[in-house]
């Protein structure tokens, strides 16, 4: 990798370990099949087609790869959930919705290295027995969709897709499906409904786990763009070598997207758990802007609970060892430690806020997004997300009362765990964490004089709804 030249100003940081982003911003690189093949591309597909499909699933299991789309679920284990006696068609769906605020990694793969994704998808299809796959791409990526269309055409013409791929006897087609611009289409069952041509109301799990009852009620594997790219590298390196990257249970590399109040925001591919939050923010991203101090960070996309930069955590660090106290800066960027710290690694979107930021504004910004994006299927999420938004609208307008902060918190807890899909948590966790960690600051922006506004008819209605029914 050392002989690879990158465009001036876009060289990877020395702490990065690039597998997935190896070709991003590379001098002389373009998304064509020729370029990809001249660099050894599609060799892993050729190799994989000689394996037993089950052996590939086992290799992915052994690699420890965990999904990079949000939940961090082990990819090989998910593939293994396809019912063993299944007689229906199996589908693979690449989730290219990339809708989680703060996340901007998949778009670079789609724009600059589409054949890496296609190769990963065809290997994955072969492993799970899928002959038809879809790339569900968000509406806001029209250019990426065109680049992908061209790449798929090239792959078809080169017999890397279609019938009897590379003479192996394996048939596989990939189609692109363009979304219409809804965050909920990133949720896998909402995505499936949308792909079926319906309103994207997520399905309840259980029973509708896609691996058993997915697209057209057939077994369906939904994986994120980045996750599917890793499959190619697992075949290339072998599971054992791949698992040496990162840390046990948190293997491989992942792309973190840093935005907000740092000197050098951007995308960075790091070994999972081998870098701490402090190293990422200070060494890789150049620290806070001049004259500023870090105040808070959302570590895994906007749905992840916010962390204060002066917090201490009592956690097993590294995972599996005795608990000990660590500072915010000492948190290793892995799935398990971030979960133990009460938040999540999620989709890798690290949103940084310095001491110039008002938390009321930040929370209102999040609440606006979630109130707009709720699909409306379940009452707690549909009504609650709007109520939360209305309260923080009042807060930023200087019209909230101290009791509003309790109402806000109460609404969040009435949503959390009571909805069809995880959007319920996505919209309530930011509120719960913000009230928990920045209550004093939020309350300082309220006034008892606004109590009458808080007790308006609408607020009363909210309060009555939230009273436990005796």
Nearer to ligand FMN among residue 31 and residue 67 (C-beta): 67
- The count of residues in the chain is 470
State in angstroms the smallest separation of the CB of 250 from ligand FMN: 14
Task: Specify whether the CB–CB gap between 380 and 419 falls below 8 A.
Answer: yes
Instruction: Name which position in 339, 422, 453, 466 contacts ligand FMN (CB under 6 A).
Output: 422
Nearer to ligand FMN among residue 126 and residue 335 (C-beta): 335
Is residue 349 a contact residue for ligand FMN (CB under 6 A)?
no
Side-chain half-sphere exposure of 176, counting CA atoms within 13 A? 23
Instruction: Name which position in 387, 423, 429, 438 contacts ligand FMN (CB under 6 A).
Output: 423
Looking at residues 181 to 220 of the shown chain, list those that interact with ligand SF4 (rule: CB under 6 A). 184, 202
Q: Which does 95 bind (CB under 5 to 8 A by kind): ligand FMN, ligand SF4, none?
A: ligand FMN
Instruction: Name which position in 16, 25, 98, 404 contacts ligand FMN (CB under 6 A).
Output: 98
Looking at residues 378 to 437 of the shown chain, list those that interact with ligand SF4 (rule: CB under 6 A). 378, 381-382, 419-421, 423-424
Torsion sign over Cα 73, 316, 100, 379: positive
Q: For ligand FMN, which stretch binds (CB under 6 A), given 68-76, 277-285, 334-342, 392-400?
A: 68-76
- 136: tokens are 């569900």
Is residue 377 a contact residue for ligand SF4 (CB under 6 A)?
yes
State in angstroms the smallest separation of the CB of 178 from ligand FMN: 14
- Nearest CA to 427 out of 146, 8, 52, 101 is that of 101
Task: Specify whether the CB–CB gap between 122 and 94 falls below 8 A.
Answer: no
Q: For ligand FMN, which stretch binds (CB under 6 A), given 62-70, 107-115, 234-242, 331-339?
A: 62-70
Q: Which does 378 bind (CB under 5 to 8 A by kind): ligand SF4, ligand FMN, none?
A: ligand SF4
65-91: b (≥16 Cβ within 10 Å) or e: bbbbbbbbebbbebbbebeeeeeeebb
Is residue 69 a contact residue for ligand FMN (CB under 6 A)?
yes
Is residue 374 a contact residue for ligand SF4 (CB under 6 A)?
yes
Is residue 339 a contact residue for ligand FMN (CB under 6 A)?
no
- Report the DSSP beta bridge partners of residue 297: 307, 352
Is residue 193 a contact residue for ligand FMN (CB under 6 A)?
no
Is residue 421 a contact residue for ligand FMN (CB under 6 A)?
yes
Supply φ then ψ for residue 255, to 5 degrees: -95, 125
Is residue 68 a contact residue for ligand FMN (CB under 6 A)?
yes
What secondary structure, in 3-state letters, does the chain show?
A: CCCCCECCCCCCCCCCCCCCCCCCCECCCCCCHHHHHHCCCCHHHHHHCCCCHHHHHHHHHHHCCECCCCCCCEHHHHHCCCCCCCCCCEEEEEEECCCCCCCCCHHHHHHHCHHHHHHHHHHHHHHHCEEEEEEEECCCCHHHHHHHHHHHHHHHHCCCCECCHHHCCCCEEEEEEECCCCHHHHCHHHHHHHHCCCCCCCCCCCCCCCCCCCHHHCCEEEEEHHHHHHHHHHHHHCHHHHHHCEECCEECEEEEEEEECCCCCEEEEEECCCCEHHHHHHHHCCCCCCCCCEEEEECCCCCCCCEECCCEEEEECCCCCCEEEEEHHHCECCHHHHHHCCCCCCCCEEEEEECCCCHHHHHHHHHHHHHHHCCCCCHHHHHHHHHHHHHHHHHHCCCCCHHHHHHHHHHHHHHCCCCCCCHHHHHHHHHHHHHHHHHHHHHHCCCHHHHHHHCCHHHHHHHHHHCCCC
Site string for ligand FMN, 71-90 (x = CB under 6 A): x-x-x---------------
Q: Which does 69 bind (CB under 5 to 8 A by kind): ligand FMN, ligand SF4, none?
A: ligand FMN
Is residue 370 a contact residue for ligand SF4 (CB under 6 A)?
no
Q: Which does 377 bind (CB under 5 to 8 A by kind): ligand SF4, ligand FMN, none?
A: ligand SF4
Q: Which does 222 bind (CB under 5 to 8 A by kind): ligand FMN, ligand SF4, none?
A: ligand FMN
For ligand FMN (CB under 6 A), the number of binding residues is: 25
Q: Which does 193 bind (CB under 5 to 8 A by kind): ligand FMN, ligand SF4, none?
A: none
State in angstroms the smallest separation of the CB of 426 from ligand SF4: 8
Q: Which does 419 bind (CB under 5 to 8 A by kind): ligand SF4, ligand FMN, none?
A: ligand SF4
Q: Which does 376 bind (CB under 5 to 8 A by kind): ligand SF4, ligand FMN, none?
A: ligand SF4
Q: For ligand SF4, which stretch binds (CB under 6 A), given 207-215, 250-258, 327-335, 370-378?
A: 370-378
State in angstroms the smallest separation of the CB of 381 from ligand FMN: 10
State in angstroms the smallest separation of the CB of 381 from ligand SF4: 3
Give the residues lining the site for ligand FMN (CB under 6 A): 67-71, 73, 75, 95, 97-100, 183-184, 186-188, 222-224, 227, 421-423, 426
Which residues bind to ligand SF4, rule: CB under 6 A? 184, 202, 374-378, 381-382, 419-421, 423-424
């Amino acid at each position: 990798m050392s002989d690879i030249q990158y465009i001036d100003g876009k060289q990877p940081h020395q702490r990065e370990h690039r597998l997935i982003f190896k070709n991003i911003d590379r001098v002389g690189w373009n998304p064509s099949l020729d370029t990809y093949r001249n660099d050894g591309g599609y060799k892993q597909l050729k190799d994989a087609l000689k394996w037993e499909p089950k052996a590939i699933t086992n290799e992915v299991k052994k690699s420890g790869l965990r999904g990079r789309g949000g939940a961090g679920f082990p990819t090989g284990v998910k593939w293994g959930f396809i019912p063993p006696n299944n007689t229906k068609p199996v589908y693979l769906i690449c989730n290219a919705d990339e809708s989680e605020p703060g996340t901007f990694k998949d778009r670079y793969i789609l724009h600059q290295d589409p054949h890496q994704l296609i190769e990963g998808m065809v290997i994955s299809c072969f492993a799970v027995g899928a002959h038809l796959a879809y790339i569900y791409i968000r509406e806001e990526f029209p250019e990426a969709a065109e680049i992908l269309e061209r790449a798929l055409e090239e792959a078809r013409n080169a017999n890397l897709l279609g019938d009897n791929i590379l003479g192996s006897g394996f048939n596989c087609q990939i189609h692109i499906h363009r979304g219409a611009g809804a965050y909920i289409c990133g949720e896998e069952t909402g995505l499936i409904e949308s792909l079926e041509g319906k309103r994207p109301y997520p399905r309840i799990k259980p029973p509708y786990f896609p691996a058993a009852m997915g697209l057209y009620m057939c077994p369906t594997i939904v994986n994120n763009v980045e996750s599917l790219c890793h499959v190619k590298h697992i075949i290339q390196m072998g599971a054992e070598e791949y698992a040496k990257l990162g840390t046990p249970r948190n293997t491989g590399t992942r792309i973190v997207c840093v935005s907000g109040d740092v000197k050098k925001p951007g995308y960075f591919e790091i070994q999972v758990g081998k870098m701490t939050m402090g190293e990422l923010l200070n060494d890789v991203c150049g620290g806070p802007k001049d004259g500023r101090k870090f105040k808070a960070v959302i570590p895994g996309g906007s749905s992840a609970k916010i962390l204060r930069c002066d917090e201490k955590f009592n956690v097993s660090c590294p995972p599996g060892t005795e608990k000990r106290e660590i500072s915010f800066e000492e948190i290793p960027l892995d799935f398990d430690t971030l979960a133990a710290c009460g938040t999540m690694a999620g989709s890798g979107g690290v949103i940084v806020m310095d001491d110039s930021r008002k938390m009321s504004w930040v929370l209102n910004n999040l609440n606006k997004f979630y109130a707009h994006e709720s699909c409306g299927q379940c009452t707690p999420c549909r009504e609650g997300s709007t109520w939360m938004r209305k309260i923080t609208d009042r807060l930023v307008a200087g019209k909230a009362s101290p009791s509003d902060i309790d109402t806000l918190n109460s609404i969040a807890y009435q949503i959390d765990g009571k909805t069809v899909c995880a959007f319920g948590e996505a919209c309530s966790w930011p509120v719960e964490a913000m009230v928990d960690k920045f209550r004093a600051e939020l309350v300082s922006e309220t006034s008892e004089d606004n109590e009458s506004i808080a007790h308006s008819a609408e607020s009363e209605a909210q309060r009555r709804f939230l009273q436990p029914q005796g």
